[in-house]
Amino acid sequence: MLTIGGHTFNSRLFLGTGKFSSSAVMKQAIEASGTEMVTVALRRVDLENPEDDIMSALDRDKCVFLPNTSGARNAEEAIRLAHLARAASGSSWLKLEVTPDPRTLLPDPVETLKATEELVRSGFIVLPYMNADPILALRLQDVGAAAVMPLGSPIGTNQGILTAFQIEIIINQARVPVVVDAGIGAPSHAALAMEMGADAVLVNTAISVAGDPVAMARAFAQAVEAGRTAFVAGMGSRSKQAQASSPLEGVLATDLGFLA
Amino acid sequence: MTVNRLRFFFSNNHCIMQIHLNGSPKTITDSTTVAMLLKELGVPFTSVVVELNKTIIQPDSYATTSLQDNDQMELIRFVGGG
């Protein structure tokens, strides 16, 4: 079973709650996904809709709440958001996101490392969103990250696992759980990440903007489970040469000589 | 002349002042507490976090924290996000 920050998770699918068409659809998708960890963002209250509150649609008994620091452009802003998140949620879970460039939304490695170090010291359970950089993953776990979250491809692009080579190295080296985050656009992408040995995946856009988000949540749950089972079962090694599946001995050599 | 310099008195001796609420100017009377403002805005206490001049105000202090002229106040809450 997967343990992060002292909490045990049965499901290895984490869900983002952005871009759902309604709270009702989001609630059903969460249910269908079987997830036990959902991310949320912090924003200014819309004073035109003061009662609008996502928390009322989420069941905190079933799901760990993972606030993110999206919108932060540097460590200072991320740390400020982290403290607001802790005050609002009453818990220390944090998905650290530092994205200075709104065009790529790629994470700033230096500011992410700086913020992780400080937030760990302040008692946060920090899951940093990071580029798929194996050395950075080591540095982040060294300063106390509870897990690392390398990207498959940029946020919201649905491009899948473009960073497979680096993610494999991260998984092989990591002493903390590896959660592949961002860019996972199809259940097959999630299955691939899990087959590679990722501990979990975080999916948002691919589910929330699907034609039927609830059915898609179910598809992702199945893919994550299939990928994990395959990883545990032990995948065969790859070969460039064909290897016959059927036995080569005892072939009927006379009439069917071409089989030899 | 900015509003926060334009002080004048009501008959009940309340002075008008201006704060910045979520980045926009907001005019209030000088005895307004955080609790009073949240109530006026119709924001449920439990669903928000209040930051005043970059310091988080704990809910048990809402009723005793008075707003000052030129205060920077942020009302933050969770929304859907990845």
- How far is B14 from chain A, CA to nearest CA, in Å? 25
What pLDDT was estimated at residue B1?
A: 42
Average pLDDT, chain A: 94
Identify whether the C-beta of residue A146 lies closer than 8 Å to the C-beta of residue A4.
yes
Tell me, what CATH number does B45's domain have?
3.10.20.30
A43 touches chain B (CB under 8 A): yes
Inter-chain residue contact B56 with A87, CB threshold 8 Å: yes
Range of the structural domain that residue B65 is part of: 3-76
DSSP secondary-structure letter at B33? B
Q: Phi and psi (nearest 5°) for B56?
A: -75, 130
What pLDDT was estimated at residue A104?
A: 94
Each domain of chain A, given as residue ranges in start order, spans: 2-236
β-pair partners for A129: A149
Q: Is the pLDDT of residue A257 over 70?
A: no
- How far is B57 from chain A, CA to nearest CA, in Å? 9
Taking Cα atoms as reference points, which of A159, A163, A156 lies closest to residue A204? Answer: A156
Is A95 part of the annotated catalytic residue set? yes
Closest-approach residue (CA) in chain B for A80: B54
What ipTM does the predicted assembly reach? 0.82
pLDDT class of A260 with cuts at 50, 70, 90: low
Within a domain: B38:
yes
In whole angstroms, what is the distance from residue A215 CA to residue B5 CA? 58
Least confident of A28-42, A84-98, A188-202, A243-257: A243-257
Q: Is the pLDDT of residue A114 over 50?
A: yes
Within a domain: B81:
no
Nearest to A68 among B43, B58, B81 (CB): B81
Inter-chain residue contact A43 with B79, CB threshold 8 Å: yes
Q: Is the pLDDT of residue A252 over 80?
A: no
Taking Cα atoms as reference points, which of A47, A26, A40 lies closest to residue A68? Answer: A40
Within a domain: B82:
no
Inter-chain residue contact A202 with B78, CB threshold 8 Å: no
Of A19, A27, A62, A95, the active-site residue reads: A95
What pLDDT was estimated at residue A4?
A: 97
What pLDDT was estimated at residue A255?
A: 65
Q: Is the pLDDT of residue A108 over 60?
A: yes
Domain A2-236 CATH superfamily: Aldolase class I (3.20.20.70)
Number of folded domains that form chain B: 1
Q: Is A174 helix (H, G, I), strand (E, B) or coil?
A: coil
Within a domain: B23:
yes
pTM for this predicted structure: 0.87
What pLDDT was estimated at residue A131?
A: 97
What pLDDT was estimated at residue B11?
A: 45
User: Which residues of chain B carry a pLDDT beneath 70?
Assistant: 1-14
Contacting residues of A for B74, CB less than 8 Å apart: 44
Q: Directed axis angle between helix A109-121 and helix A75-89, to 10°?
A: 40
